[in-house]
Every structure is written in C-alpha cells, then in structure tokens.
Structure 1
Amino acid sequence: MTAVGALLFAAGLVVSTSLPAQALFTPESGSTGRTVAGGATQSLDVGDAGAAETTRDQYTVSSATQYKNVDASSFTNDPNGTIQWPFLTGVPITSGFGGRQVEGCSFCSTNHMGVDFAPGEGTPIRVIAAGTVIKVQANDGGFGNDVWVEHDVDGKQFVSVYGHMEDNSFKVVKGQQVEVGDELGLVGSTGNSTGPHLHLEVHVDGVPVDPLAWLKANAN
C-alpha cells in the first residue's frame, strides 16, 4: 500500500468510528416522528430502535424503524374474523411501537407503548375482538378519553386500549359485553396528542406488545 493509500484508509477509519451513527443516515431514515391528522396517505419516520425484530409468543415484534412508510394499504380487515382491525379499511399509521423521538413535542413519550392510526377526526373506532369493557374514562391523563376491553378469544387472553377519543363520543359503558366490530367511540385528539388519531395498545399478560405485529399475526 502506498503512503497516500495508507493515509486515505486511516481517514476512512476515523470517519466510520468517530461520527455518531445518525450523521451517516439519509433524511429518509432520520430520527423524528409525528402524529398528525388524517387525510392524505402519510408515512412514519421514527428513531433508531436497535435490532430489526425479535420473536415473542409466536409472532414478530417489529422495531420502530420498520414502521416507515406504513400507509393506508398496511392492512385489510376481514369483517368475518373473530379478531379484527379497529377500522373497516386500512388507514395511515403515523407512529409505531417502541423507541421514538417526536420533534417539537415535549410531552410525547420516547418509548411508545402502542400504534397510532390516523383515519381522520370523527371516524368510528371498533373493538378488535369480543370482550368485556373494563374501563371507560374521560380525561384519563395522557390517554385523554379512553376505553379498555378485556378479551378471551380463541384461547388468547389480552386487553386492548383505545386512547384520545373525541369528547362525548363513548358508545359503551364499563361492564358492557361487546362483540368484535362494535363501535366504542370516535377518533379524536384528547389528552397528550398532536392531532386526531387512535392510540391502540394490546397487553398480553399485562405487558404491552406491538399491536401491528400482533394484529397481523392474529386478525383473521
């Protein structure tokens, strides 16, 4: 190797080991994410979340980076399924599960325990499976107006959580039995929210799991 070549090689090593990882990313893979109002198809742009995926209870858990460009074609609902999506048709997903940084939002969580769907304000939110309503709460802190439902379907026990509902839009009460697809309320922007959306969580054994991965594995 010539002296010039050796110098160039050494310079390359300095760049690859000294710069922070994000300095080498293109704008498309930046580290910001934002929940916005529904309308035109939107894409997600969130922070680096480490490993691409792990396996948990027979389904894949995606990292936050894998939610990039998840739009209205991200899912198709089966109206005959025992487990369904919270909307009748595919809608944009604006924030995924896991680590994130939301630019300009001081109250947004950096460890997002759900998935944000943005079909537009006032869109009916439907329960993802039959179950019992265990909580209906207005002004429930960061969740705003939320509904919690406990399920035991096809041998699966889990709880689903629906946050940020529009004021005065609850369609259920605590203790009510609901069937899959029943309307719970309307998409709103209550609580800690930067725009109208549904914040959906799925808890298995009391632990929040990735709702998108879980629904893709279990919706039928």
Structure 2
Amino acid sequence: MSNPAVSNPAASSRRAARAAVAAPPPRPTSAQASPRPVAALSTRVPLGRRVAKKAFPPAVMLAVASLLVGTSVPANALFDPDAPPASMALSSIADAKVAETVEVEGQVIEAEAASDIATTAASRDAWTVTSYAEMLRLRYGSTNYSYNASGTGPIRWPFPFAAPVTSGFGDRVAPCRGCSSYHRGVDFDAGYGAPVGAIADGIVTAVGRSSSFGYRVEIEHIINGQKVMSLYAHLIDNSSVLTVGAPVVAGEIVGAVGDTGLSTGPHLHLEIHVDSVPVDPFAWLVANAG
C-alpha cells in the first residue's frame, strides 16, 4: 500500500496554500512600532492664554504711561481757560433741557423741573454759616434795654438815672475765663465809682468778698408778700458801710461800682431772686419800679 502524502503531491500543495492564507500577518516588533505623538499633545497652548500673553505687554505699557502723565503733568495743563465755569455749564444744561422739553407738547412739568434744578444750584452758592456766638447775639442781643429811672418810690432802679445795660439775663457767650455762659443777672455800666442804691427796704444778709462776685452786698426784702433777695456785685473793696443785719431803705447807698472778682471792666452786676429763684432783674424792675 502506498503513502498518500508521497503519492499525491498536488494535495499537499493545496493544504500548504490554505495554511498560508489562514495565518495572520506577523506583528511588528517593539523596535519597528511607530511612536505616538505624545510631544505634540503636551506642547499645545490654549487659545485664551495665547491671547492674554500677547495683550499683557501693551496693557502694562499703557498703565505705566498713564501713571507717568498723571504724576508729572501739572493739573492746570489740561485746563481750558476758555471753558465756562461749572455753574454756567450747569445753567446752560438746564436751559437746554428747558428748550428741549418746551418743543415737545405735554412736557411742561419736565421744563419746570429743569428750571428748579438751575435755581437750586445757583442759590446753594449763597449759603452762609452762622456761629453759635452769632446765634446767641441774634436771639438775645435785640432786647430793648431803654427805661426811665425816677429815683423815687418804694421800689427803685439801682441808679437815679438810666445807666446803660451791657449784658442781659440768660444765655450768653462767656466774656472771660471762668465767667458764666448763663447770666443770672443784669450788668449796668454806670461808671467806675458811681454810688449804688438799694432797690427797696430790707435787711442786709451779706457784705464782703466772694470769689466770683468780688466785693458784694446782699439784701433781703419782702415785696408783695414774696421774699426777694437783691445782690450787688463787683463793688469797690470796702465801699459799703453796711453790716449784716442792718436795715436799709430804698435808695440807700450800698456801695460803689468797681471791678472786683471775675469782671471784664467796671460795672454793677445786679441779681434779683424771688423765693430763691433767680429772675430777670431788668424785666422785674420794669414791672415793679416806680
């Protein structure tokens, strides 16, 4: 019996051809494999970053140039001497606004509003500031201190003539260091050494020196059923012959005008207390003195 592989060479050739077709192609080795584009992917820059990189240097140069101009050029170098003042410009804008709104029917309210803006801007420049001292002078400095002193009657003025009043009762600007800003009396400028008379009959309750009143005399009265105390301050030292407990009558000399104590000049400081409450001596004497 013969061998089939030897006796049939044609069949052997067909089997070899089928095996060659069915076998897969050989895989390349590591040395033959093509490299992946890793470097190309890693070096790609985003679009926004590329734009910022190109725009940053000009922006920095522009900022530096602006800073240089702002710190080296004088302020008036950019000022236009022919330009109108701001108030005129505002008025022109307001006038233009008025003209514009007048041309349109039914817009009268807007025109009036623009005119009010111009008027307000103009009047604002005319505002003034009033000091506290000026406010006090306006409030208390307009009192009419004119009066008549007859020198007779059970209740009298401290002088037989109308002595000028230099400081009234109430709030005021303190005239000296330590002086009161609320004046509890009235100051009369009768001249240095002028004799001072008692305002009514009474009893002397104090004579002598005081830290603020200087040399003063105090007298207690009973007037219209009320206890009234009169105080005469800033007298010349030892100008009174009265003693505590001594009775006095209306018009009797209690001392002489001086400049003792806290005083800015020769004057009589007169106080009147009704039932231990200080009242305006000028108003009280106007109402009670003959």
**TM-score above 0.5:** yes
Bigger proportion of residues as helix: 2
In the alignment of these two chains, the number of paired residues is: 179
The Cα shift of 1:87 comes to: 0.2
Structure ID, larger Rg: 2
1:30 correspondence with 2:141: no
Normalised to the residue count of structure 1, the TM-score between the two structures is 0.73
The Cα shift of 1:155 comes to: 2.8
Letter in structure 1 aligned against 2:196: I
Match of residue 159, structure 1, among 229, 251, 254 = 229
Q: Structure 1: how far apart are the matches of 2:248 and 2:206?
A: 13
User: Does the Cα contact within 8 Å between 2:151 and 2:159 map onto a contact in 1?
Assistant: no
Give SS of 1:160's match.
strand
Q: Deviations over 1:103-162 (max 9, x none)?
A: 5x2222100100000110000000000000111122x01100011100013434210000
The Cα shift of 1:4 comes to: 3.4
Residues 14, 209 of structure 1: alpha-carbon distance in 2 compared, 3 angstrom cutoff: farther
Q: Structure 1: how far apart are the matches of 2:143 and 2:268?
A: 16
Aligned sequence identity (%): 42
Query: More deviation in 76-85 or 183-192?
Result: 76-85
What is the match of residue 3 of structure 1? 114
Q: Deviations over 1:195-217 (max 9, x none)?
A: 00000000011111100001001
Q: Structure 1: how far apart are the matches of 2:224 and 2:275?
A: 16
Bigger proportion of residues as strand: 1
Q: Deviations over 1:58-109 (max 9, x none)?
A: xxxxxx33336x4xxx222233311100001001110011111145x22221
Indicate the RMSD between aligned Cα atoms, in angstroms: 2.4
The Cα shift of 1:12 comes to: 4.1
Q: Structure 1: how far apart are the matches of 2:138 and 2:171?
A: 7
Superposition pairs of residues 1-220 of structure 1, within 5 angstroms: 1-9=112-120, 12=123, 20=129, 22=130, 30=134, 47-49=137-139, 64-67=140-143, 70=145, 74-102=146-174, 105-138=176-209, 140-220=210-290
What is the match of residue 65 of structure 2? none
Q: Structure 2: how far apart are the matches of 1:110 and 1:14?
A: 34
What is the match of residue 35 of structure 1? none
Normalised to the residue count of structure 2, the TM-score between the two structures is 0.56
Q: Deviations over 1:5-53 (max 9, x none)?
A: 333236647976xx65x26x9xxx936xxxxxxxxxxxxxx6355xxxx
Give SS of 2:190's match.
coil
RCO higher in structure (CA 8 A, sep ≥6) = 1
User: Does the Cα contact within 8 Å between 2:150 and 2:161 map onto a contact in 1?
Assistant: no
Q: Structure 2: how far apart are the matches of 1:210 and 1:151?
A: 17
Give SS of 1:91's match.
coil
Give SS of 1:171's match.
coil
Give SS of 2:212's match.
helix
Q: Structure 1: how far apart are the matches of 2:169 and 2:189?
A: 15
Letter in structure 2 aligned against 1:85: W
Letter in structure 1 aligned against 2:142: Q
Give SS of 1:157's match.
strand
Q: Structure 1: how far apart are the matches of 2:147 and 2:241?
A: 25
Q: Structure 1: how far apart are the matches of 2:179 and 2:189?
A: 16
Structure 1 stretches of at least 4 aligned residues deviating more than 2 Å after TM superposition: 4-7, 9-16, 46-49, 64-68, 153-157
User: Does the Cα contact within 8 Å between 2:208 and 2:238 map onto a contact in 1?
Assistant: no
Give SS of 2:286's match.
helix
The Cα shift of 1:180 comes to: 0.2
Residues 97, 133 of structure 1: alpha-carbon distance in 2 compared, 3 angstrom cutoff: same
Gaps of 5+ in 2: 1-111
